[in-house]
């Protein structure tokens, strides 16, 4: 039930991200907004998301995920629905940026931390892989559904439809969600033989006085900037730079989700096998966090070759799906391995505030900005490639432990 609730939450979270790439094209055309202006709304949504994510971490540590999921149902559905009626940029920013940001901000930390609190060591990545399948499923279903209704009913109806879906799905997730293991008198699953879960109670300030959290933040931030640049601009790159039809572009973009459905659990199993092989969770997660961004580098290189052959585009989508399967869950797994479970919600909530407050907003905005400045998305993709390189380099510096204050 914990994994299913997280899967539904991630379905809604990535539904926001996947549908933006589809809906922004008809919105720009009808409202006569520039790419940078409409991308700024997405950036604002991710900034509000980051602030809310920090607050959700405190909720999770104290009361579990049910309150967070219920708030996500109300604000997430409201963000989609109210956006359907906007006619000015300020109203668009308020509806999609603020309401949508609050709704989605209740989803990421709550879903990742709840899985990590229930599953550790050799079981975490596998269970996270099954939960994270909600993301690619949303990328396929919601992208294709949005594309299909726009020609007949328009983009405004598409927003309303998505709002209804979010409301129903998140209310179901609220019903399924559970509190923390300790509230039921049970222990988390998946400990590695010969090791024990670190139960030292880290304070947020103490945790952030160690290099480990900053190293994982830089690792995640580099990948996020690249990832969200590609996610928010890929369809536009296919349509405007390569001359594809919107339908063909969305189909290719949705291939990331199709591959992701299979890569999420498979790469989760692989990540846990690495942990078992090295016998040290932090070390195993570090290895995955080095490999993941390097896969992103190759994916960007293949994306730039899509104009020569659609096969390069398909390969790029496959590689992005593999990358996607490794980094988001990997950074939480590494952080949990270093700091334990007790205050992981607060610690990862603040890390998310930093990463999500910068990465997605910067990535999505820069993607549109470089396009407006150069007339092509190729510069944007090259920037994303470089950001993945920075992420991989940062991952090599991740320490394998952090000393509590009483051991220093």
Instruction: Give the pLDDT confidence of 91-150 residue by residue, as tens digits.
Output: 999 999 899 999 988 998 888 888 988 888 788 888 989 998 998 888 788 877 888 888
Q: Which two tokens stand for residue 40?
A: 């700024």
Q: How many structural domains compose the chain?
A: 1
- Among candidates 58, 46, 406, 398, which has minimal Cα distance to 214? 398
In the three-class reduction of DSSP (H, G, I as helix; E, B as strand; rest coil), residue 189 is classed as strand
**What's this model's pTM, rounded to 2 decimal places?**
0.79
Residues 6+ apart with CB under 8 A from 335: 212, 213, 216, 344, 347, 348, 351
- Average pLDDT rounded to a whole number, residues 188-195: 66
More confidently predicted of 314 and 180: 314
- Average pLDDT rounded to a whole number, residues 315-342: 90
Whole-angstrom distance, CA of residue 325 vs CA of residue 265: 8
Is the residue at 198 inside a domain?
no
Is the residue at 20 inside a domain?
yes
Q: Which two tokens stand for residue 137?
A: 């499923």
Residue 80 near residue 162 (C-beta atoms within 8 A):
yes
Is the residue at 184 inside a domain?
no
Q: Is residue 57 pLDDT above 90, yes or no?
A: no
- Among candidates 165, 181, 135, which has minimal Cα distance to 72? 165
Is the residue at 336 inside a domain?
yes
Per-residue pLDDT of 238-265, as tens digits, reads 888 888 887 788 778 778 878 888 898 9
Q: CATH code at 15?
A: 1.20.1250.20
Is the residue at 192 inside a domain?
no
Q: Which two tokens stand for residue 138?
A: 């949303």
| Burial group, residue 298, by CB count within 10 angstroms (0-12, 13-18, 19+) | middle
Per-residue confidence (pLDDT) for residue 192, from 0 to 100: 61
Is the residue at 186 inside a domain?
no
Which residues lie across from 189 on neighbouring strands? 119
Per-residue confidence (pLDDT) for residue 406, from 0 to 100: 62
In the three-class reduction of DSSP (H, G, I as helix; E, B as strand; rest coil), residue 203 is classed as coil
CB atoms within 10 A of CB 205: 8
Is the residue at 190 inside a domain?
no
Vertex 236, ends 143 and 366: CA angle to 5°?
110
Is the residue at 298 inside a domain?
yes
- Average pLDDT rounded to a whole number, residues 23-30: 83
Q: What is the mean pLDDT of the chain?
A: 87
Share of the chain above pLDDT 90, in %: 36
Q: Is residue 194 pLDDT above 50, yes or no?
A: no
**Scanning the structure block, which residue is given the tokens 């730039």?**
304
Q: Is residue 407 pLDDT above 60, yes or no?
A: no
Per-residue confidence (pLDDT) for residue 408, from 0 to 100: 53
Q: Is residue 329 pLDDT above 50, yes or no?
A: yes
Residue 39 near residue 232 (C-beta atoms within 8 A):
yes
Q: Which residues span the domain enclosing 37? A: 2-179+204-407
């Amino acid at each position: 039930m914990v994994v299913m609730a997280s899967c539904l939450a991630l379905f809604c979270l990535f539904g926001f991200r996947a549908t933006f790439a589809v809906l922004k094209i008809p919105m720009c055309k009808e409202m006569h907004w520039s790419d940078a202006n409409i991308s700024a709304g997405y950036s604002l949504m991710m900034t509000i998301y980051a602030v809310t994510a920090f607050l959700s971490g405190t909720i999770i540590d104290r009361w579990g995920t049910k309150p967070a999921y219920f708030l996500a149902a109300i604000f997430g559905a409201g963000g989609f629905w109210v956006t359907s009626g906007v006619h000015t940029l300020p109203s668009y920013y308020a509806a999609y940026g603020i309401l949508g940001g609050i709704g989605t901000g209740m989803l990421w930390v709550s879903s990742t931390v709840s899985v990590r609190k229930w599953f550790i060591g050799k079981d975490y990545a596998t269970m996270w892989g099954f939960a994270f399948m909600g993301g690619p499923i949303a990328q396929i279903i919601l992208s294709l559904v949005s594309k299909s209704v726009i020609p007949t009913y328009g983009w405004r109806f598409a927003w309303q439809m998505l709002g209804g879906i979010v409301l129903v799905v998140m209310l179901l997730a609220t019903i399924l969600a559970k509190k923390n293991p300790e509230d039921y008198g049970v222990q988390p699953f998946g400990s590695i033989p010969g090791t024990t879960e670190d139960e030292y109670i880290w304070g947020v300030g103490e945790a952030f006085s160690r290099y480990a959290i900053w190293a994982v933040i830089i690792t995640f931030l580099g990948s996020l900037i690249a990832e969200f640049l590609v996610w928010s601009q890929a369809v536009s790159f296919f349509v405007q730079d390569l001359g594809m039809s919107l339908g063909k572009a969305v189909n290719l973009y949705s291939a990331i989700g199709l591959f992701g459905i299979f890569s999420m659990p498979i790469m989760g199993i692989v990540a846990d096998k690495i942990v078992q092989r090295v016998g040290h969770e932090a070390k195993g997660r570090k290895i995955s966090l080095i490999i993941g961004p390097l896969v992103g580098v190759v994916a960007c290189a293949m994306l730039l070759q899509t104009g020569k052959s659609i096969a390069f585009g398909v390969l790029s989508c496959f590689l992005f799906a593999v990358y996607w399967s490794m980094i988001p869950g990997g950074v939480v797994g590494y952080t949990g391995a270093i700091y334990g479970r007790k205050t992981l919600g607060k610690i990862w909530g603040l890390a998310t505030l930093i990463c999500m407050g910068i990465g997605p907003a910067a990535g999505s905005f820069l993607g549109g900005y470089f396009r407006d400045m150069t007339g092509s998305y190729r510069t944007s993709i090259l920037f994303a490639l470089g950001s993945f390189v920075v992420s991989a380099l940062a991952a090599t510096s991740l320490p394998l432990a952090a000393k509590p204050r009483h051991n220093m």
